[in-house]
């Protein structure tokens, strides 16, 4: 049974909120969910979301801006292609100016206004 309150669902919801042309990290999502030490679980959720095309998992990368999960995509280059298609410079599985494109749910979803 999939409860919307499930940790996974929360992760999916946040990932879906990621605007095109922006990226975030597993730790940022985990931190937003109140589990900054469970970044691995977030990645695990992505693994479970593998079959859900509604979830832009390609916008989720590790703390170093490295496309660690690209190997899980059908095409190893698909993840980079999607990111570059959104205007995000990716080279050698690594996002250039990652910090510049970084989208933090803790800030964006809690923006005072």
Applying CB under 7 A, which residues contact DNA?
6-8, 25-27, 35, 37-44, 46-50, 57-58, 60, 62-64, 68-69, 72-73
CA–CA separation, 30 and 27 (whole Å):
5
Q: Measured from the CB atom, is 53 or 113 closer to DNA?
A: 53
CB of 113 to DNA, least distance (A): 26
> b or e along 18-36 (b: 16 or more beta carbons within 10 Å of the residue's beta carbon)?
beeebbbbbbbbbbbbebe
Minimum CB separation of residue 63 from DNA in Å reads 3
Residue closer to DNA by CB (options 89, 104) is 104
Nearest to 61 by CA among 109, 94, 12, 13: 94
């Amino acid at each position: 049974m999939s409860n919307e309150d499930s940790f996974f669902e929360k992760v999916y919801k946040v990932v879906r909120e990621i605007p095109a042309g922006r990226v975030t990290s597993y730790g940022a999502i985990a931190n937003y969910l109140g589990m900054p030490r469970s970044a691995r679980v977030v990645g695990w959720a992505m693994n479970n979301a593998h079959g859900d095309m509604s979830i832009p998992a390609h916008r989720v990368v590790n703390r170093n801006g490295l496309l660690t999960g690209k190997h899980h995509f059908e095409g190893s280059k698909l993840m980079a292609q999607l990111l570059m298609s959104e205007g995000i410079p990716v080279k050698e599985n690594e996002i250039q100016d990652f910090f510049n494109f970084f989208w933090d749910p803790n800030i964006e979803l809690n923006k005072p206004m």
